[in-house]
DNA sequence: CGTGCGAATGAGAACCGTTATCGTTCTCGC
DNA sequence: GCGAGAACGATAACGGTTCTCATTCGCACG
């Protein structure tokens, strides 16, 4: 359960995004998705639900939301971006290479390792991304 | 120093790739680059060196080399792929957010952590990617 | 309640990185 | 040299994303 169906407009306002009907539709559709979706998938699903949202609006909304940190952008398909409604806190992702399931990893005990690895090359780490690829319970 | 200037054709043959003049040019140009480059950058540099290599060949060669594991593909620019000649062994990358410098992290002591994190969600990890973003020594 | 103004939106064109096509050239074993 | 198959260059095609612009909407103010 990625996010509660209720409170989506609060989620927007908390991030200084005006809660318009279209944006709520996009967000609601995102909240329905367990894994991740492309902008085009999201758009066609909205169409099926008789939303009048245009493709440009879907892209604009997703760009806005990712900028605000409300959605994560995964580019594991090279050339096509995938979006996912995620928690606010720092987290990583677990990807099933077979069914493309996406699961959040909440616990990241990697800060020390990251800082040390960075320091070793004269860097100061400001952020890090980890993706674990594997097989989920259903696909094993 | 990512790779020795010599031995590029051996590098190709070791990976079952026929060492043609074009491919060597592409590889040589990749070896000159400390960080990472896009296909288009690489192509225009080759042009400047009076190489007759076409853009399609550059893309074909990069696709082939990445398939063979000779080059790494980084998609941290969303929409545009960056290529880098990297070592064979499992490694990660350190990125400078200011000058876009890329450094390989050879030591990855993360296998246990990865396996544990995967297991906790019912996954079996087969691979993982880590990118550390920060500031390099020069940019601090 | 109107009114006005700036933000948001939809349709479609434009953009741009990448890939496919196709005719030509090159490579290499014979 | 010769022939078959791989590689190549030019360019068209493709597909995801962004831009443009005219229209509509949301909301504060009168």
**CATH number of the CATH domain containing A111:** 3.30.1490.190
Angle among Cα A50, A20, A29 to the nearest 5 degrees reads 45
Question: For residues B132 and A98, what is the distance between their CA atoms, to the nearest angstrom?
Answer: 26
Other Cβ atoms within 10 Å of B99 Cβ, number? 12
Give me the mean pLDDT over the B8-30 stretch. 96
Identify the burial level of A102 via C-beta atoms within 10 angstroms of its C-beta, where 0-12 means exposed, 13-18 middle and 19 or more buried. Answer: buried
The residue that minimises its CA distance to C1' of C26 is B20
Instruction: Looking at the structure, tell me whether residues A129 and A98 fall in a common domain.
Output: yes
Residue B82: strand pairing partners: B38, B74
Q: Answer whether B135 sits within 8 Å of A127, measured CB to CB.
A: no
Q: Return the CA Rg of chain B.
A: 17
Nearest nt to the B26 alpha carbon by C1': D8
Q: Would you say residue A110 lies in a domain? A: yes
The domain in which residue B118 lies consists of 92-134
Same domain, A99 and A67: no
Residue after which a domain boundary falls, among B50, B69, B85: B85
At B3, is the pLDDT very low, low, confident or very high (cuts 50, 70, 90)? very low
CA distance B67 to B39: 15
Average pLDDT over residues B42-51: 97
Q: Is residue B1 part of a domain?
A: no
Domain count, chain B: 2
Q: pLDDT of A68-97, one tens digit each?
A: 999 999 998 878 999 999 999 999 999 999
Q: Which nucleotide is nearest to A64 (CA to C1')?
A: C8
Based on the domain organization, do A19 and A77 belong to the same domain?
yes
Distance CA B3, CA B89 (A): 13
Residues A98 and A138: beta-carbon distance below 8 Å: no
A123-140: pLDDT as tens digits? 999 999 999 999 999 999
Q: Residue B93 pairs with which residues in a beta bridge?
A: B104, B131
For chain A, say whether B110 makes contact (Cβ under 8 Å): yes
pLDDT top residue among B116 and B78: B116
Rounded to whole angstroms, how far apart are CA atoms A74 and A72?
Answer: 6
User: Rounded distance, CA B140 to CA B135, Å?
Assistant: 6
CB contact under 8 A, A132 and B114: yes
Among chain B residues, the shortest Cα distance to A133 is held by B127
Q: How many CB atoms lie within 10 A of CB B52?
A: 10
Clarify whether residues B77 and B118 are in a common domain.
Answer: no
CA distance B124 to A64: 34
**A11-38: per-residue pLDDT in tens?**
999 999 999 999 999 999 999 999 999 9
Chain B residues in contact with A99 by the CB 8 A cut-off are none
- CB contact under 8 Å between B135 and A126, yes or no, is yes
Asked whether residue A103 falls in the same domain as residue A48, the answer is no
Residue of chain B with shortest Cα separation from A76:
B75
Contact present, B12 and B23 (Cβ < 8 Å): yes
> Is B106 in the same domain as B72?
no
Please report the pLDDT score of residue B2 as a whole number: 45
């Amino acid at each position: 359960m990625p996010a509660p169906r209720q409170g989506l407009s609060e989620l927007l306002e908390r991030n200084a995004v005006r809660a318009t009907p279209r944006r709520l539709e996009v967000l609601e559709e995102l909240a329905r998705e367990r894994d991740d979706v492309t902008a085009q998938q999201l758009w066609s699903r909205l169409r099926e639900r008789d939303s009048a949202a245009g493709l440009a609006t879907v892209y604009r909304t997703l760009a806005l939301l990712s900028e605000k940190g409300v959605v994560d952008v995964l580019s594991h398909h090279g050339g096509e971006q995938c979006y996912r409604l995620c928690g606010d806190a720092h987290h990583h992702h677990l990807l099933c290479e077979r069914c493309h399931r996406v699961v959040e990893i909440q616990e990241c005990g990697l800060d020390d390792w990251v800082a040390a690895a960075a320091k070793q090359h004269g860097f100061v780490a400001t952020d890090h991304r980890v993706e674990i690829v594997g097989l989920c319970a259903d696909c094993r």
